Chain A
């Protein structure tokens, strides 16, 4: 059961993360376009400038859960790296339970009203000629919270399985040391 939960969420996070990553070259191209248009053609658009910002925001708000799945969020690992896989699983279990999930729930709680207000006004850009989609931009906060909470649950499941010695890949890889 745990394993199925873990695999389902992992799969979802993986698909979302890989898709989001391709926004990066688009963002780069648009930024380059802004420079070319302004310098060579003396023209430009606030909407174009803002769309680079939107892509940038989507990138890290949507793919952070993917980064969590790949253990890409940096740690101060002076002690952590000396721990056994079980020791690490304990840290990750406790961290997910007492740090990650509370932060997600809290952030979601406080951001929900903020985002809802923006939707109620269909909030537009504060700049003339900007994108009228600020409510979508703000909604990224909820995207971060939801994807991160889901992946947090997956991590919880994964580390529980490691602790009871039933996480498949780990058993395969380090089965000897776990016995």
Chain B
């Protein structure tokens, strides 16, 4: 009974979240309640609670997370100065009367942004700020708009360079060595972060392609949910060719510059967010779109979004600490101990557990809790480490999208206008979840889609 407490905790926090009090306090408060009961009934290792300040300090000093406020600042600047809206409108114009043109533009811009950072909070929020208002204005159904934004924003996790893959690569590389030493191989093969980056390329691009195809399909079957530009729009817009180029080129250059500064070795991915924000500020100023009043709005709104993201991280830290104090990791361990059905059964169970943990625990937590336990076992059974890494990453990405709880959903809800109903977001992401699940299935059938490119490059 006692060993099942972590399970009750999971259930209880889901219930508390549904009451609608802010997510951060619901996570932390529920955990605390359980810790209190645990201390009174002597079923909880209360010493673990002393780790809370260290955990918070870890979040304060995590340099990677500095990308969040800067990336969000870039997004808010581009939105409030109307640069984003003009960019997306111009891109949609490129697609002319093709229905869904705006949706495709958003997905492509999202892909570029996703390449620039791997922090889910940063990409989902930025995408939401950049494109949601324009899509709604253009008559897109809130479901399609929020669904495609959420899905594209979460892509940042697997399109390299991605922090998530780096963390996973670290843990997998150690697990792979461990697995080979267990098998008696003392000059083990290695797997590097670079291998994971290369392995993620084809699946990442395939996902983008699937999203685009899906948007076209919806636009074709249900024109009202993704309207094309009207003849009138086209006329008005094409009369302004100059402004067309003017609104298309600079922001695209900016986004490319962010990515380019990483690839050219000018900035690290975290610093690139700062470069992007600075660029957005200059762009907004040069287009005379930024009054002091607007700048005030920008910094205040960015500050609030940043606080929203970080308080969730702090709440999740307390939750996972108590989850551990009750032996939640033992419970996870136990599930894996008697894994049935050989390598495929084992992989399926691992994927399912990771999927459910992804509702509440964040990427870092899962990478550190689950992967070190399961990876050596699975790799000893003969799985390819790059394949396993990418499958875990896509699986988590799917989990973050899955209603009713998931980090991407929390973050998008946080920046979506009040008029968009949460249920509409849930409806909107469902097809994208199905696409991702299909992709996982395809990658399981044809692992070569992941392993071919890294194999080719290492030769």
Contacts and interface: CB of A to CB of B under 8 A. Distances in A.
Q: Which 5 A-B pairs have the closest CB atoms?
A: A80-B20, A99-B29, A31-B274, A95-B21, A73-B22
B56 interface: yes
B20 to A, nearest CB: 3
Contacts of A53: 60-61, 63, 66
Given A32-B275, A73-B311, A95-B19, A17 B411 contact: no
B66 A77 contact: no
Interface residues of B, number: 68
A52 B60 CA distance: 11
A74 B274 CA distance: 25
Nearest to A75: B20
Interface of A: 17-18, 20-22, 24-25, 27-29, 31-32, 34-35, 39, 49, 52-53, 56-57, 59-61, 63-64, 66-68, 70, 72-81, 83, 88, 91-92, 94-95, 98-100, 102-103, 106-107, 110-111, 114-115, 137-138, 140-141
Contacts of A27: 66, 69-70, 274
Contact of B267 (A35, A66, A75, A114): A35
A74 B411 contact: yes
A84 to B, nearest CB: 13
B423 interface: yes
B59 to A, nearest CB: 9
Tell me if A's interface is mostly helix, strand, loop or mixed: helix
Given A67-B303, A76-B20, A57 B421 contact: no
Interface string B392-408: 00000000000011000
B26 A21 contact: no
Contacts of A64: 307, 310-311
A141 B56 contact: yes
Nearest to B28: A103
Contacts of B312: 74
Given A64-B311, A95-B19, A95-B25, A115 B53 contact: yes
A28 B306 contact: no
Given A31-B271, A34-B271, A99-B29, A91 B19 contact: yes
18 contacts: A17-B300, A20-B303, A24-B302, A27-B66, A28-B278, A53-B63, A60-B303, A67-B308, A73-B23, A74-B22, A77-B422, A78-B422, A78-B426, A81-B20, A91-B21, A98-B29, A102-B29, A107-B52
Given A28-B278, A72-B305, A74-B22, 4 more contacts: A24-B303, A32-B275, A76-B405, A78-B426
